[in-house]
Amino acid sequence: MKKAISIFFAIIAWFAVVTQFYLMLENRTASITETIIRFFSFFTILTNSLAAVYFTYILLGSKNRLINKPGTLTAVTTYITIVGLVYQLVLRHLWKPQGLQMVVDELLHSVVPVFVIIFWYLYERKELVKYGQISQWMIFPLIYLVYILIRGKLSGFYPYPFMNVSVIGFSKVLVNSIVLLCLFVAFSAVFVWFGKVTQKNSERVEQ
């Protein structure tokens, strides 16, 4: 059952990422090289790609220690939950995609995040995930934050309006960054806590 779900989720995630890449190339306003760099500068793309890679490893029965380590799925789930949450609350009203772009947009920001949360609930080894792992999970968003700020300074391109230093200023971006990092930590803690609660409840039922 786990592999069957992984196949379906992997296909959806890869379709969303690859199709978005195609659409971005088709509608590019910069060179192909710059467009590709910009594509991989979106946290949405990076996180959906992580989910696609994770599901692919699972369906292939990979013995990769990092992929199978308790907490890896929780980290991916936290990242993509933030992607979905920020989009729904902050970004959705900023544009009205049509046609295939609308489909892909919903897959990246709504469908895949829900799929990952479902997979986490079903298959994460929740009793082995620890609060102490949260600091390790924060490395990825921190590196991403530093990257987009440095590249934005050099290129003038910022993937998200709430991170656009040239428009809203560095102090506002700093506040937004702190808020986002706090969200990452908070949701990480919630997933660890909820996982432990559900695990204990299931153990009580089995007894």
Domain definitions of the chain by residue range: 2-206
SS3 annotation, 79-127: HHHHHHHHHHHHHHHHCCCCHHHHHHHHHHHHHHHHHHHHHHHHHCCHH
Distance of CA 192 to the CA centre of its chain: 17
- What phi-psi label fits residue 71: left (phi over 0), alpha (psi between -120 and 50 degrees) or beta? left
**pLDDT for position 25:** 96
Query: Which element (helix H / strand E) includes 174?
Result: helix 170-206
Secondary structure letter of residue 42 according to DSSP: -
**pLDDT for position 66:** 86
Say how many C-beta atoms besides its own lie within 10 A of residue 49's C-beta. 17
What does the pLDDT profile of the chain (207 residues) look like in tens digits? Answer: 888 999 999 999 999 999 999 999 999 989 999 999 999 999 999 999 999 999 999 988 878 888 889 999 999 999 999 999 999 999 999 988 999 999 999 999 999 999 999 999 999 999 999 999 999 999 999 999 999 999 999 999 999 999 999 999 999 999 999 999 999 999 999 999 999 888 766 555 444
Q: Which amino acid does the sequence have at 19?
A: T
The model carries a pTM of: 0.93
**pLDDT for position 64:** 84
Q: Give me the count of residues in the chain.
A: 207
CB 9 within 8 A of CB 120: no
